[in-house]
């Protein structure tokens, strides 16, 4: 069963960073990948994705968050890792979630889709998500 937009995973928590965690995350950032879903892209070919045969209406678009190219998505994943905005749950060496904020102030959540490759897919967080405000605060705290 797919999650509804008004229901959020209550297990999502930020990892409390210790010792050399940020150094380890910087190493991971150099190899993180973005997979994505063509249903969430205005121009999925820019991400190396095949357009869906039957696009579904009502899908949120990464374009709405100001993410137009694969390089934008990867850069935000890398920044989220380097700032330590990751979940406390892991699959192997990869955190289950990475959070970031776009230049226009949109909080994003990425979920691990392939732990062998460190590949994620992401999406804008709705304002109704209680974690969105925490992501914005932590992002701005790390920028100071």
pLDDT tens, residue by residue, 19-73: 999 999 999 999 999 987 656 555 555 655 555 544 455 555 556 677 778 888 8
Condensed to tens digits (0 to 9), the pLDDT of residues 89-141 reads 999 999 999 999 999 999 999 999 999 999 998 888 988 999 999 999 999 98
| CA 92 – CA 86 distance, rounded (Å) | 14
Tallying the residues shown for the chain, one arrives at: 144
Has residue 52 been placed in a domain?
A: yes
pTM: 0.82
**Total number of domains constituting the chain:** 1
The pair of structure tokens assigned to 50 is 């095949």
- CB distance 68 to 1 below 8 Å: no
In a domain, 8, yes or no: no
| In-domain check, residue 14 | no
Q: Return d(Cα 81, Cα 77) in angstroms, integer.
A: 6
**Is residue 36 domain-resident?**
yes
β-pair partners for 123: 109
Range(s) of the domain holding residue 56: 21-143
Residue 42 lies in a domain: yes
């Amino acid at each position: 069963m797919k999650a509804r937009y008004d229901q959020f995973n209550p297990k999502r928590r930020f990892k409390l960073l210790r010792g050399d965690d940020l150094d380890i995350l910087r190493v991971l950032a150099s190899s993180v990948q973005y997979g994505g879903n063509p249903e969430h892209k205005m121009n999925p070919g820019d991400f190396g994705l095949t357009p869906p045969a039957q696009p579904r209406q009502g899908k949120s678009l990464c374009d709405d968050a100001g993410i137009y190219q694969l390089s934008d998505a990867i850069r935000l994943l890398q920044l989220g890792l380097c700032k330590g905005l990751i979940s406390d749950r892991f699959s192997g060496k990869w955190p289950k979630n990475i959070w970031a904020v776009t230049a226009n102030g949109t909080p994003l959540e990425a979920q691990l889709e392939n732990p062998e490759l460190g590949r994620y897919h992401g999406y804008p967080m709705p304002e109704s998500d209680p974690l969105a405000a925490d992501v914005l605060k932590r992002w701005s705290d790390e920028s100071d």
